[in-house]
Amino acid sequence: MPDLPRVRQLVGAAGVTFTRFYAPFPLCCPARATLLTGQYAHNHRVLGNTAPGGGFTRFQDQSTLTTWLTPTYRTGLVGKYLNGYGPPYKPPGWDEWMVPSSMYGYTGSRWYVNRGTGGGYKTITGYQTDTMAALASEFVTRNAPRAEPFFLFVSLVAPHDGLPRDPDDVTGFPSPYVKPVYRDRFVGTTNTDPSFNEADVSDKPIRPALLSATEIRGITEHLQQRREAGLSIDDAVARIVNALTASGELADTYLIFASDNGLMLGEHRIRGGKKTPYEVANRVPFMVRGPGIPPGSLVHRVAAQVDVAPTVMRMAGLTAPSSVDGMGLLGLMRNPGSDLARRGVLLEATANSDTLSPPWVYRGVVDGRWKYVERTTGRKELYDLETDPYELVNVAGRAAHAQRQQSMATLLAALRDCDGIECR
């Protein structure tokens, strides 16, 4: 994350950075449901962003991280929940609830605010990411004097594409609206990933045509504006850290920085989207600072979003329910050299969620070095992420890797329908 220097300084350098952290189902709603339940998508059953198979209406939010923290913790959410959500509903376990009525409108001013004594709409002008940072900081300032500890989920929309559109957006490649002060900050930036517009995709199950000049221009503009929108994320994190510092809470607070998914921008010739088993989409940032975590430490062991909820529960001194598929990472954070490790992380994605049980498109597993994927078409992929981090060479089916492929297939068979402790 070269464009987030303060995030790296205030969270990563002050704590631990996980270098192999994954979004098992790299799409907004499945990922958010995983963060809040500690379950893989095949267990929480949010299998997309839209009803009936996905989205807000599919999410069973009666038992989540926040209900487990209640009543010990004062809880709050600022920003995005799940696609399809609409006020005035406030899910169980949340004491304070602050969401924009226009989720993908960067200049929208209508917010639904419920701080536990009844909710209503409030006009808050300004750039959306700045507003979320202000509401989060106010939550810290308001709740720091309380005797009970607090848990705050700040769910920034940036750098997702949104409104208003910029005049230079290329048709078919919508991008985020950038705060004027950061506009054109990354003009000239290009996608330097070696897999961008990959010359040979004959080893891949999906083999799109080479990108056209117009497509490269649209993708490049999108990439630049995503990086520019990220500068406001950097500002937001710094503002929240400043609020924690001013309140005297920073030293006793765990601060987690993560993402729900990545985005394909021409890698392997894929024009866009998220539901792919490739590193660009499913390997996401994860940094944590807090009590007992040695500053500047790195963890290279594989971990995933299913581990976030049980980790927060351990930070709170509480026990996660047996329904959780993930494992607590606090011990590993405090001692990065320990032997604590999971067997691997399951990767999975379905087709569009226009039915209650959409078919799986792929299931796979990553153990840190190796990634193995089985497509429903029967095609298989195997990558050595140590020697081929950009997944340029699919070695599935090669005699030299037959034993490795078999061991990864066995691991996938153990995890594909796992439940609870079976998933660790």
**203 has pLDDT over 70:** yes
Whole-number Å distance between alpha carbons of 222 and 153:
27
**422 has pLDDT over 80:** yes
**pLDDT tens digits, residue range 279-312?**
999 999 999 999 999 999 999 999 999 999 999 9
Using omega within 30 degrees of 0 as the cis cutoff, is the peptide bond preceding 176 cis? no
Q: Which class would CATH give 5-340?
A: alpha beta
Q: What is the rounded average pLDDT of the residues 159-179?
A: 90
pLDDT band at 2 (very low <50, low <70, confident <90, very high): low
Q: Please spell the DSSP secondary structure of 116-158, one letter per residue.
A: SS-EEEEE--S-HHHHHHHHHHHHHHHHTTSSS-EEEEEE--T
Q: What is the rounded average pLDDT of the residues 415-422?
A: 97
Whole-number Å distance between alpha carbons of 217 and 237:
31
The whole model's pTM is what? 0.97
Q: What is the rounded average pLDDT of the residues 42-59?
A: 97
**pLDDT tens digits, residue range 304-335?**
999 999 999 999 999 999 999 999 999 999 99
Quick check: 391 and 268 in contact, CB under 8 A? yes
Residues in the chain: 424
Task: Measure Cα distances from 123 to 101, 107, 232, 406 in Å.
Answer: 10, 11, 21, 58
Domain definitions of the chain by residue range: 5-340
Whole-number Å distance between alpha carbons of 257 and 263:
18
**pLDDT tens digits, residue range 343-370?**
999 999 999 999 999 999 999 999 999 9
Please tell me the predicted confidence (pLDDT) of residue 41. 98
Task: Measure Cα distances from 179 to 104, 182, 385 in Å.
Answer: 14, 6, 36
pLDDT band at 60 (very low <50, low <70, confident <90, very high): very high
